[in-house]
């Protein structure tokens, strides 16, 4: 038997596979890889009859190896080292493991989510681009040729000025000097320059030009907030802040100046935004401020190509990036010297991943800040009620910006009562007149309608039938420009038939209005106006969002129509009129957060008006003008809204006064799903009833099972069970038994555990 100190013991590593396995696996290190494998390396390993990708997370010591050998385990060997350098470090591995534990998601799949797609596949990673770089050598030969002198002088000057610390690329020399190949070859022969092959990153900013700007003078409120944040950055401790500032109060300028101080201290910054649509404008602000200062800015989001994301990840791993900006997945950026985390528009529900690893970007930012002992700044004009409540309890330091910069006033908000009103093309006469007046003054309008497509459905005027998705329990949305009926949940499409599918009639007419129809009818109403649309359909092409931003800033668009994408964080100085076409849609949503979401959406979109020199105006069309949520939005009064909404949450112990877990069961067989849900709910009630997980106010309440609001989605029937508790421990205690629950469920029924759910549709 082998002993712990036996030098003949094999070398072994623990590998977490990027697969749904409950624990890491142990593999032998083959002779050709001994001494090479370190923590964070990506490897190919055998798994049954196939191969899988995994990450080395531990080099086992002799005691652990001896125990494995003595137990008679038959270990397989690592098949291949896939990358020269590690792709993650220990801190990131620890962070992802902790996040996966909290959200009850397999560690390997959580790590797969964190890594760029190019590193998560068994196939080869994207190829690294190479470029030829020329630097000055030590030779001192006097030159006669004019072109040789010019090329050599260019390389010397670039290096002297520090602009090209690593040398000048061949592509740049070709731009400056036509066909310089023979000249470069001769200079290299003379020992005056030398060349080498170097990795060239794909540039996500290629072709995007920015104009440099300088720091703005802060007002008293901004200065106080900045001083608090900068003071925390020097203390090497976790300091969470809630930066509550009205729209246009200069939160971004505080981010910029705080991050400048962090980078000056040789630390890195992470900035999160809720959606990819917000990334180009924010990146533009950061590049305008820091470009030319030897500060490199990187972006991480799913809108990048696989190769661009792979390059960026590796650049961050090599400490070449100082500031990372991205959507929620950027919270996993491999920043080794993190100094501050900023979560912009922290209230936004887009920070919650809706499938797979259902993490919340804001909450993981707080977790990462706590682990790294750095400040985390949550910024919003309409903070999530959970964040606001934490600030009232002293768990977050609240920083307030109550006024817009430059003494600008918040826009006036008017409710347009639509009950009994004559409506043409979805717009009231009051809103149509306001648009016409705005166009006459050569100012810009922004209209919010949170529905994509031309019309929500086509309806038969003879029998009332409409087209429905064959995979989901939902009507198909009519997209006239594409000539398709489309399901917005599973992306099923079909062309409409010429006759009604039920009665054969020919009276199929579009009912209701989406952004496509609103834009088309506005064009008829104002034929000279330049109208653009901003929704998921109109911005699917790469660079299309940036194009819209540029056109808005250059006053090349008169009316911008869009979904909630237009409400978030954009700064268009020319917009003086904002119209909300249907304010009631979000208010009537069957969710306890509907009031919070409605207020946030209205306050945010209202904040797009009047950010320049001209005062803004907001018109909100509604059939519920006496709704208290709308009254608070009219006054831009977040505090009043929070004070009236939080007591309602507290009565029912909904977050932030309680904790929720949603258990979602789905499958192709409706009876199997319903039966499994009943069995699981009964078992959970039994566990609670026998006192194993607390009782009374300290216990867990089981709500359901009940069909999901969208009972059939992507051809799967869906039931849900909601677990609710006033404190977290009994809920976690119950969740610890999750492995046993699967035994109660039909093998063809999938169970998803959504911790801290945001969307329960």
**Last residue of a domain, which of 618, 649, 680?**
649
Residue 260 has pLDDT above 70, yes or no: yes
Q: Within a domain: residue 461?
A: no
DSSP one-letter string for 388-444 = HHHHHTTSSEEEEE-S-GGGPPPPEEEEEE-TT---BTTB-HHHHHHHHHHHHTT-E
Q: Within a domain: residue 208?
A: no
CB distance 293 to 311 below 8 Å: no
> Residue-wise over 732-757: b if at least 16 C-beta within 10 A, else e?
bebbeeeeebeebbeeebbbbbbbbb
Give the residue, 698 or 731, on which the prediction is more confident: 731
**Last residue of a domain, which of 404, 422, 437?**
404
pLDDT at 694: 54
Element (H, E) at 282: helix 279-290
Q: Write down the mean pLDDT value for the chain.
A: 88
- Contact partners, residue 169, CB within 8 Å, separation at least 6: 131, 132, 133, 134, 200
The CATH number that applies at residue 566 is 3.40.50.300
In 3D space, the residue among 454, 473, 450 whose CA is nearest the CA of residue 520 turns out to be: 454
User: How many residues are listed for the chain in this entry?
Assistant: 761
- Contact partners, residue 322, CB within 8 Å, separation at least 6: 263, 268, 269, 290, 295, 296, 297
Provide the β-strand partners of residue 750: 666
**What distance in Å separates the CA atoms of residue 418 and residue 405, rounded to the nearest whole number?**
34
Q: Within a domain: residue 683?
A: yes
In terms of domains, do 227 and 88 share one?
Answer: no
**Last residue of a domain, which of 91, 120, 149?**
120
Of 44-53, 286-295, 466-475, least confident by mean pLDDT is 286-295
pLDDT at 363: 97
The CATH number that applies at residue 66 is 3.40.1440.60
In 3D space, the residue among 534, 498, 530, 540 whose CA is nearest the CA of residue 515 turns out to be: 534
Q: How many CA atoms lie within 13 A of 84 on its CB side?
A: 3
Q: What mean pLDDT do residues 683-692 have?
A: 74
Give the residue, 641 or 761, on which the prediction is more confident: 641
CB distance 13 to 35 below 8 Å: no
In terms of domains, do 350 and 297 share one?
Answer: yes
In terms of domains, do 368 and 283 share one?
Answer: yes
Q: Within a domain: residue 278?
A: yes
In terms of domains, do 384 and 251 share one?
Answer: yes
Of 97-101, 219-223, 730-734, least confident by mean pLDDT is 730-734
pLDDT at 4: 39
In terms of domains, do 274 and 382 share one?
Answer: yes
> Phi then psi for 642, rounded to 5 degrees?
-60, -40
Q: What mean pLDDT do residues 164-182 have?
A: 78
For the chain, how far is it from start to end, CA to CA, in angstroms? 58
pLDDT at 3: 41
Give the residue, 496 or 270, on which the prediction is more confident: 270
Of 213-222, 471-480, 499-508, least confident by mean pLDDT is 499-508
Reported confidence tier of residue 761, pLDDT bands at 50, 70, 90: confident
Chain Cα centroid distance, residue 153: 46
Give the residue, 698 or 566, on which the prediction is more confident: 566
Residue 557 has pLDDT above 90, yes or no: yes
Q: Within a domain: residue 83?
A: yes
What is the residue range of 722's domain?
659-755
Q: What mean pLDDT do residues 368-380 have?
A: 97
In terms of domains, do 444 and 581 share one?
Answer: yes
DSSP character for 59?
Answer: E
Of 34-43, 155-164, 450-459, 660-669, least confident by mean pLDDT is 155-164
pLDDT at 690: 61
Q: In what order do the strands lie in the sheet with 659-667?
A: 700-713, 716-725, 659-667, 750-755
The CATH number that applies at residue 193 is 1.10.10
DSSP one-letter string for 106-159 = -HHHHHHHHS-HHHHSSSPPPPPPEEEEEEE-S--PPP--HHHHHHHHHHHHHH
Q: Within a domain: residue 761?
A: no
Chain Cα centroid distance, residue 472: 26
Chain Cα centroid distance, residue 712: 27
The CATH number that applies at residue 697 is 3.30.70.600
pLDDT at 2: 40
Structure tokens at 352: 């919650």
pLDDT at 695: 54
Q: Within a domain: residue 464?
A: no
**What distance in Å separates the CA atoms of residue 176 and residue 170, rounded to the nearest whole number?**
10
Q: Report the predicted TM-score, pTM, of the whole model to 2 decimal places.
A: 0.89
Q: Within a domain: residue 508?
A: no
pLDDT at 498: 79
> Phi then psi for 331, rounded to 5 degrees?
-60, -20
Counting the structural domains of the chain, the total is 5
CB distance 720 to 726 below 8 Å: no
For tokens 């469920």, name the residue.
745
**What distance in Å separates the CA atoms of residue 682 and residue 518, rounded to the nearest whole number?**
49
Compute the chain's Rg from CA coordinates.
Answer: 29
pLDDT at 588: 80
In terms of domains, do 441 and 533 share one?
Answer: yes
- Contact partners, residue 170, CB within 8 Å, separation at least 6: 131, 132, 133, 134, 184
In 3D space, the residue among 158, 178, 176 whose CA is nearest the CA of residue 167 turns out to be: 158
In terms of domains, do 422 and 394 share one?
Answer: no
In terms of domains, do 644 and 664 share one?
Answer: no
In terms of domains, do 232 and 84 share one?
Answer: no
In terms of domains, do 194 and 326 share one?
Answer: no
Residue 339 has pLDDT above 70, yes or no: yes
Q: How far is residue 54 from each of residues 51, 95, 116, 318, 704, measured CA to CA in Å?
A: 10, 17, 14, 21, 39
DSSP one-letter string for 469-538 = -SSSSSBPEEETTTTEEE-TTT--EEPPPSS-TTT--S-EEEES--HHHHHHHHHHHSTTS-EEEESTTT
Reported confidence tier of residue 367, pLDDT bands at 50, 70, 90: very high
**What distance in Å separates the CA atoms of residue 122 and residue 125, rounded to the nearest whole number?**
8
CB distance 87 to 119 below 8 Å: yes
In terms of domains, do 33 and 150 share one?
Answer: no
């Amino acid at each position: 038997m082998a002993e712990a100190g036996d030098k003949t013991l094999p070398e072994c590593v623990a590998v977490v596979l990027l697969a749904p396995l409950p624990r890491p696996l142990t593999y032998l290190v083959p002779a050709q890889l001994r001494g090479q494998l370190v923590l964070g390396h990506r490897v190919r390993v055998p798994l049954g009859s196939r191969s899988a990708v995994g990450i080395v997370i531990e080099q086992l010591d002799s005691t652990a190896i001896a125990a494995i050998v003595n137990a008679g385990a038959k270990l397989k060997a690592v098949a291949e080292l896939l990358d020269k350098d590690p792709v993650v470090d220990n801190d990131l591995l620890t962070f992802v493991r902790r996040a996966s534990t909290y959200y009850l998601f397999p560690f390997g799949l959580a790590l797969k989510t964190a890594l760029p797609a190019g590193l998560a596949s068994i196939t080869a990673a994207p190829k690294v681009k190479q470029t030829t770089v020329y630097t000055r050598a030590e030779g001192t030969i006097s030159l006669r040729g004019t072109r040789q002198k010019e090329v050599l002088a260019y390389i010397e000057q670039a290096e002297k000025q520090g602009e090209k610390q690593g040398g000048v690329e061949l592509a740049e020399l070709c731009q400056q000097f036509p066909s310089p190949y023979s000249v470069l070859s001769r200079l290299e022969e003379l020992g005056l320059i030398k060349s080498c092959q170097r990795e060239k990153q794909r540039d996500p900013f290629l072709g995007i030009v920015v104009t440099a700007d300088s720091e703005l003078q802060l007002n008293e409120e901004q200065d106080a907030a900045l001083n608090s944040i900068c003071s925390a950055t020097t203390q090497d401790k976790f300091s969470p802040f809630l930066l509550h500032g009205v729209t246009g109060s200069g939160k971004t300028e505080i981010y910029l100046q705080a991050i400048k101080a962090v980078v000056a201290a040789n630390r890195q910054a992470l900035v999160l935004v809720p959606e990819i649509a917000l990334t180009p404008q924010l990146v533009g602000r950061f590049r305008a401020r820091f470009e030319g200062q030897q500060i490199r800015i990187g972006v991480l989001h799913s809108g990048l190509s696989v190769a661009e994301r792979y390059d960026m990840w590796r650049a961050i791993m090599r400490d070449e990036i100082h500031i990372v900006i991205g959507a929620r997945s950027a919270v996993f950026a491999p920043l080794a010297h993190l100094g501050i985390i900023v979560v912009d528009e922290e209230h936004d529900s887009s920070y919650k991943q809706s499938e797979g690893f259902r993490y919340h970007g804001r909450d993981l930012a707080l977790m990462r800040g706590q682990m790294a002992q750095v400040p985390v700044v949550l910024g919003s004009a309409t903070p999530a009620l959970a964040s606001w409540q934490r600030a009232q309890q002293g768990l977050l330091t609240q920083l307030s910006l109550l006024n817009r910069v430059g003494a600008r006033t918040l826009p006036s908000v008017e409710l347009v009562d639509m009950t009994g009103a004559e409506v043409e093309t979805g717009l009231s006469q009051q809103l149509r007149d306001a648009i016409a007046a705005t166009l006459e003054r050569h100012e810009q309008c922004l209209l919010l309608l949170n529905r994509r497509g031309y019309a929500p459905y086509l309806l038969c005027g003879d029998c009332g039938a409409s087209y429905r998705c064959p995979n989901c329990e939902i009507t198909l949305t009519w997209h006239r420009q594409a000539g398709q009926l489309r399901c917005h949940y599973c992306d099923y499409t079909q062309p409409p038939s010429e006759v009604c599918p039920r009665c054969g009639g020919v009276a199929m007419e579009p009912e209701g209005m989406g952004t496509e129809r609103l834009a088309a009818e506005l064009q008829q109403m104002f034929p000279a106006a330049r109208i653009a649309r901003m929704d998921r359909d109109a911005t699917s092409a790469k660079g299309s969002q940036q194009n819209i931003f540029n056109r808005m800033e250059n006053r090349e668009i008169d009316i911008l129509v869009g979904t909630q994408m237009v409400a978030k964080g954009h700064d268009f100085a020319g917009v003086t009129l904002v119209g909300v076409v249907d304010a009631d849609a979000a208010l009537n949503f069957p969710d306890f957060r509907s009031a919070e979401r409605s207020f946030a959406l209205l306050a945010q979109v209202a904040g797009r008006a009047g950010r320049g020199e001209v005062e803004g105006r907001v018109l909100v069309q509604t059939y519920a003008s006496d709704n208290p949520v709308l009254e608070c939005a009219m006054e831009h009064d977040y505090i009043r809204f929070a004070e009236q909404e939080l007591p309602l949450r507290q009565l029912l112990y909904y977050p932030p006064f309680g904790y929720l877990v949603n258990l979602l069961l789905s499958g192709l067989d409706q009876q199997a799903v319903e039966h499994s849900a009943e069995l699981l709910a009964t078992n959970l009630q039994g566990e609670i009833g026998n006192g194993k997980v607390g009782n009374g106010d300290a216990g867990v309440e089981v709500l359901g099972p009940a069909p999901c609001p969208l009972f059939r989605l992507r051809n799967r029937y869906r039931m849900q069970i909601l677990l609710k508790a006033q404190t977290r421990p009994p809920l976690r205690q119950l969740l610890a038994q999750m492995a046993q629950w699967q035994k109660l469920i039909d093998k063809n029924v999938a169970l998803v555990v959504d911790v801290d759910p945001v969307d329960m549709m």
